[in-house]
């Protein structure tokens, strides 16, 4: 596993994304009725890896893993909260951004995955504000630089302390020779709609901007003097509480605890309650198997919102997607060598459709149901955005129907076995028609049939299960093989895929998966995969005389002035 400070003889321990909320190192959370205060108080002596110190509220992946956990728990465990005031527990420093020494020590793969995860976390902040009436506000009580300003940009409003020193900045271009995380630039012009010429000046001004000019340019929403900063930001929080409370989903605002997933882990894989991730390192592949809902799971959902709420974190739809999320993150960060993931959803396809129909029927009746559906969508988007090849295998015993069919549509190919002795059924539910959108706001079927609107129209509302050949005729399958050809053709497809350049595949997959119109989110990830990926390995940034390599040293970077 590539990692910061890794050597040929040292293999760092795998990163764990399932953290204990009682043992955060870097965040303090306090509650005052409908307002939560989330204070970034980074422990300099608790980096995720050795070799650097997290000074000035700078962050590494460990800091962001905790932040992602806070955001997720805020939505499920504290639905009474209407406003989250994101601020700093360190005087005169909001956040200095990603830790530069960490970036300098990190491998290329680590930097790219780190940037991707931080952007996904910020997207979840925005989704909480937009879809859960849990509004994030940024109270920047000090220097707000780079990734720190990106964190503020994810919030609905930004307030800056006016003390002659506090400023917002995106200094990566002038200081490091890289992009401001890509998300920073996109949010600047697409979200806050800052004029592109002003954004150009701002993004090349290392010291950033402060005071009234920051407000005038749209970089922040208000500035308040240090003496009145807490008072004024509290007033804004109160105003947002009233606004966010007008359109609450029904249901008692009592939270649902999210316990640790506690999978069985060994060198061969990870085994959760419903998800199994098995490694084949010699073949550079992994098998990802998801268990479909049982009749008991369907019965719980059919009983209505009270039974769903009582099931809590053990509700199939929540538990299985929490497990899938954890498995995907482990593949990304701890197993760079596994290039092809073979996906199977096993169980009863009709039960999956029954489960979906019952869940959809109560989606507007309780906040917890809404949060479960939103979480399912987030995890599938994580899969869309994971730099691995995915082949979905529909053989005997599989249940690619409804929400589990989204796994096949998110995959790069969907192979199906046609064998009367091993019947395979494929079906659609309302979840395939908009309930689990991609980052670009479109469904995976809309993306699949971007040039075949009549094919898509014929599928809308179809609820019967299809055999392999009719499913192929409907356009839902990549290829159908009979029992004679199945093993050989799948083996050849796997061997061919793992023989190809992983760099070429990453670029190809990211482009093919996001066909059609873009959204700010899809632009963030498309640019992250392409341009940030490229810039990070250019000598002007990370070469021996590159800006990132020499940051903090007296030598000046030496650039290759040729534009490429």
Tens of pLDDT, residues 164-209: 899 999 999 999 888 887 789 999 999 999 999 999 999 999 999 9
pLDDT of residue 3: 44
pLDDT of residue 11: 54
What pTM was computed for the model?
Answer: 0.95
Task: Name the token pair of 506.
Answer: 């990453």
* 305 is a domain residue: yes
* CATH number of the structural domain spanning residue 427: 3.90.226.10
Whether 230 and 305 share a structural domain: no
Whether 273 and 230 share a structural domain: no
Instruction: Compute the distance between CA of residue 200 and CA of residue 202 in angstroms, rounded to an integer.
Output: 6
Whether 206 and 332 share a structural domain: no
User: Phi and psi (nearest 5°) for 482?
Assistant: -80, 175
Whether 493 and 359 share a structural domain: yes
List the Cα angle 520/322/136 in 5-degree steps.
45
Whether 65 and 111 share a structural domain: yes
Whether 387 and 288 share a structural domain: yes
Parts of the chain with a pLDDT under 70 = 1-12, 529
Per residue in 370-395, is it b (16+ CB within 10 Å) or e — as a string? Answer: bbbbbbbbbbbbbbbbbbbbbbbbbb
pLDDT of residue 246: 83
Residue 561 neighbours by CB under 8 Å, 6+ apart = none
* 482 is a domain residue: yes
* 52 is a domain residue: yes
**3-state helix/strand/coil string of 528-552:** HHHHHHHHHCCHHHHCCCCHHHHCC
- The CA-to-CA distance between both ends of the chain, in Å, stands at 31
**268 CB-side CA count, 13 A:** 3
pLDDT of residue 154: 97
Domain end: 245, 275, 304, which one? 245
Whether 240 and 289 share a structural domain: no
For residue 394, list its beta bridge partners. Answer: 416
Instruction: Compute the distance between CA of residue 143 and CA of residue 169 in angstroms, rounded to an integer.
Output: 9
- Taken in order 394, 399, 403, 404, is the CA torsion positive or negative? negative
Whether 237 and 286 share a structural domain: no
* DSSP output for 126-157: HHHHHHSS-EEEEEE-EEEETHHHHHHHTSSE
* 498 is a domain residue: yes
Instruction: Compute the distance between CA of residue 260 and CA of residue 21 in angstroms, rounded to an integer.
Output: 10
Pairing of strands 97-98, 142-145: unpaired
* 554 is a domain residue: no
Whether 274 and 213 share a structural domain: no
pLDDT of residue 506: 86
Contact call for residues 94 and 143 (beta carbons, < 8 A): yes
Q: How large is the angle between the packed helices 61-77 and 367-384, nearest 10 degrees?
A: 150
Domain end: 211, 245, 279, which one? 245
**How many separate domains does the chain show?**
2
* 155 is a domain residue: yes
Domain end: 474, 495, 513, which one? 513
Whether 231 and 378 share a structural domain: no
* 545 is a domain residue: no
Whether 370 and 499 share a structural domain: yes
Instruction: Compute the distance between CA of residue 284 and CA of residue 286 in angstroms, rounded to an integer.
Output: 7
Task: Give the structural domain span for 225.
Answer: 21-245
Task: Name the token pair of 437.
Answer: 């959108």
* 257 is a domain residue: no
Whether 448 and 338 share a structural domain: yes
Contact call for residues 532 and 186 (beta carbons, < 8 A): no
With 0-12 CB in 10 A as exposed, 13-18 as middle and 19+ as buried, what is 8?
exposed
């Amino acid at each position: 596993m590539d990692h910061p400070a890794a050597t040929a003889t040292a293999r760092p321990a795998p990163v764990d994304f399932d953290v204990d909320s009682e043992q955060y190192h870097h965040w303090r959370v306090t509650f005052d009725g409908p307002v939560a205060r989330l204070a970034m108080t980074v422990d300099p002596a608790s980096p995720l890896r050795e070799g650097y110190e997290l000074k000035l509220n700078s962050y590494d992946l460990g800091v962001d893993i905790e932040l992602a956990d806070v955001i997720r728990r805020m939505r499920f465990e504290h639905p009474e909260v209407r406003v989250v005031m994101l601020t700093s527990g360190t005087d005169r420093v909001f956040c200095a951004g990603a830790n530069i020494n960490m970036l300098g020590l990190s491998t290329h793969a680590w930097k790219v995955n780190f940037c991707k995860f931080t952007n996904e976390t910020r997207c979840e902040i925005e989704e909480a504000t937009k879809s859960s009436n849990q509004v994030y506000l940024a109270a920047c009580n000090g220097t707000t630089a780079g990734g720190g300003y990106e964190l503020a940009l994810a919030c609905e409003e930004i307030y800056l302390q006016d003390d002659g020193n506090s400023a917002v900045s995106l200094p990566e271009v002038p200081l490091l020779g890289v992009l401001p995380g890509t998300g920073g630039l996109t949010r600047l012009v697409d979200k806050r709609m800052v004029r592109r010429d002003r954004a150009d000046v701002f993004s090349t001004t290392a010291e950033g901007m402060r005071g009234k000019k920051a407000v005038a340019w749209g970089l922040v929403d208000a500035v308040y003097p240090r003496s009145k900063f807490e008072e004024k930001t509290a007033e804004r929080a109160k105003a947002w509480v009233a606004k966010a409370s007008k359109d609450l989903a029904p249901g008692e605002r009592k939270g649902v605890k999210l316990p640790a997933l506690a999978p069985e882990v060994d060198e061969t894989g990870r085994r959760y309650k419903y998800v199994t991730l098995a490694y084949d390192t010699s073949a550079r592949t992994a098998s990802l198997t998801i268990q479909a809902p049982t009749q008991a799971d369907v019965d719980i959902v059919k009983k209505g919102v009270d039974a769903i709420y009582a099931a809590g974190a053990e509700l199939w739809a929540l538990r299985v997607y929490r497990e899938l999320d954890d498995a995907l993150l482990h593949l990304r960060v701890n197993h760079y060598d596994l290039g092809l993931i073979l996906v199977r959803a096993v169980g009863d396809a009709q039960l999956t459709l029954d489960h979906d129909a019952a869940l959809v029927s109560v989606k507007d009746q309780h906040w917890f149901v809404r949060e479960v559906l939103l979480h399912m969508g987030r995890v599938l988007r994580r899969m869309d955005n994971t730099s691995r090849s995915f082949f979905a295998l529909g053989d005997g015993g599989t249940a690619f129907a409804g929400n589990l069919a989204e796994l096949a549509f998110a995959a790069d190919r969907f192979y199906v076995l046609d064998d009367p002795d091993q019947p395979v059924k494929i079906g659609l539910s309302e979840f395939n028609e908009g309930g689990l959108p991609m980052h670009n706001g479109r469904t995976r079927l809309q993306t699949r049939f971007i040039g075949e609107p009549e094919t898509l129209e014929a599928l809308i509302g179809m609820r019967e299960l299809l055999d392999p050949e009719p499913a192929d005729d409907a356009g839902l399958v990549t290829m159908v093989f009979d029992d004679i050809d199945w093993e050989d053709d799948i083996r050849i497809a796997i061997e061919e895929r793992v023989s190809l350049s992983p760099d070429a595949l990453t670029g190809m997959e990211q482009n093919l998966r996001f066909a059609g119109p873009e959204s700010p989110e899809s632009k963030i990830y498309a640019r992250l995969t392409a341009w940030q990926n490229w810039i990070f390995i250019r000598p002007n940034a990370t070469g021996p005389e590159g800006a990132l390599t020499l940051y903090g040293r007296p030598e000046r970077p030496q650039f290759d002035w040729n534009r490429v």
